[in-house]
Amino acid sequence: MDPELIRDCVHCGFCLPACPTYALWGEEMDSPRGRIHLMKQHVEGTALTPEMAGHFDACLGCMACVPACPSGVRYDRLIEQTRAEVERSHPRSPADRAFRAAVFSMFPYPRRLRAMRLPLRLGRRLGPRLQPLLERLDPRLAALVALAPPAPRRVRLPGRVAARGRRRATVGVLTGCVQGEFFPGVNAATVRVLALEGCDVVIPPAQGCCGALSVHSGRPQEAARFARRTIETFERAGVDTVVVNAAGCGSSTKEYADLLSGDPAWAGRARALRFADLAEYLAELGPAAERRPLPITVAYHDACHLAHAQGVRAQPRTLLAGIPGLRLREIPEGAMCCGSAGTYNLFQPVAARELGDRKAAQVLTVAADLLVSANPGCTMQIASAARRRGERIAVAHTAEVLDASLRGLPPSALLAPGRSTP
């Protein structure tokens, strides 16, 4: 933990209203200010106690406190450093170690995720009978089954898709782990939209994890391995700009140079590649393809690692508002995390459920036809919370809405019950 970054905090309290766990519990040590105080104690010699580790584990890492801070405290860096320290020195229970090992041996690997789709689908079908048993056995297992979306149809993307009309750019696309296996339609829509907007799109085969889940969970060495592989993949593909359509992946790939700062050569290779969120990139490129009417009401959900970590807020709204007939509505408490936060809803299922229920309730007040999100974790989390309320929320990615407009599809293409959404 960097003492200089810790000293930047003047304990003013501007972070408190932005913090989801402080909003839930009103506990000082579960606020960014309180956690920084605990970091300071540890740096000054206090041993890392189970209680301290519990307060650090309870942080979502949503980064809402970073833009809220008038002193520019880099809480994002601090919490990542702290999580690495917790993983190094905090002795977890055997059950906790086993569950975490299972998550990190499965989620970053697309083939293993693919193998899990059938068991998770069976778990969802058993639903009411299975959930009480899993809750008693381990709430984290219950959360894993409840969050899983329906298994989608396999989508095979070619290695390269040519621009439609005049070529304006060449870009790569990161297909991701959870996005690629559970929401392949989002990747297909991303590729089509980029091609229709005049981009040659390169989709390297056999892509691996970008390292986002690892870096956000205190596993920097593992994250660095994934980062180096991702950099090599797109270097071989011959692109210098990579479009990312998952918020957590986007924030992590933009920080590769920091992650790899211990090796100047790799840090330099990271800086030579530009990673950009899809909405961010399309807003810079400017529209070229014709937008056809899409008469639906849309509520846009700010994914934390897009809005807070990357500062991408206006661009998705501008893209959606540019579609004829589309009505855009804001969600109350829109800046509050939905409780997904990468693996948080698996490791901290009780707190995540409270935040998910709170977010779903706010979304439902908007009475929109469609909820639009830019992160697969948010999609699963909010849809799962709605199911607990006996409601169904139609969910789509920004790319899918743009794709429907550019291809002239009817609203039913996004709202139909048979669509591969949660």
- Tell me the per-residue pLDDT of 316-344, one tens digit each, with 9 for 90 and over: 999 999 999 999 999 999 999 999 988 89
Q: 316 lies in a domain?
A: yes
Residue at 286: amino acid letter:
G
Same domain assignment for residues 271 and 312: no
Residue 242: which H helix or E strand, with range? strand 241-244
Looking at residue 182, the DSSP 8-state letter turns out to be: H
Q: 420 lies in a domain?
A: no
Range of the domain at 259: 160-283
Q: 205 lies in a domain?
A: yes
Q: 202 lies in a domain?
A: yes
Same domain assignment for residues 189 and 262: yes
Same domain assignment for residues 117 and 207: no
The confidence band for 418, taking pLDDT boundaries of 50, 70 and 90, is very low
Report the largest interatomic distance among the alpha carbons of the chain, rounded to a whole angstrom: 63
Residue at 361: amino acid letter:
A
Instruction: Give the number of other CB atoms < 10 A from CB of residue 295.
Output: 12
Which of 283, 299, 318 is where one domain is finished? 283
Chain segment 262-279, per-residue pLDDT in tens: 999 999 999 999 999 999
| Total domains present in the chain | 4
Same domain assignment for residues 181 and 236: yes
Q: Parallel, antiparallel, or unpaired: how do β-strands 199-202 and 160-161 relate?
A: antiparallel
Sign of CA dihedral 82, 59, 214, 189: negative
The span from the CA of 269 to the CA of 351, in Å, is 39
Task: Count the residues in the chain.
Answer: 422
Q: Is the pTM of this model over 0.75?
A: yes
Chain segment 388-405, per-residue pLDDT in tens: 888 888 899 999 999 999
What CATH number is attached to the domain comprising 26?
Answer: 1.10.1060.10
Q: 372 lies in a domain?
A: yes
Same domain assignment for residues 104 and 221: no
Q: 422 lies in a domain?
A: no
Q: Among 128, 112, 175, 123, which Cα is nearest to 149's?
A: 123
Same domain assignment for residues 77 and 120: no
Same domain assignment for residues 322 and 277: no
Residue 373: which H helix or E strand, with range? strand 370-373
What CATH number is attached to the domain comprising 176?
Answer: 3.40.50.1860
Same domain assignment for residues 240 and 254: yes
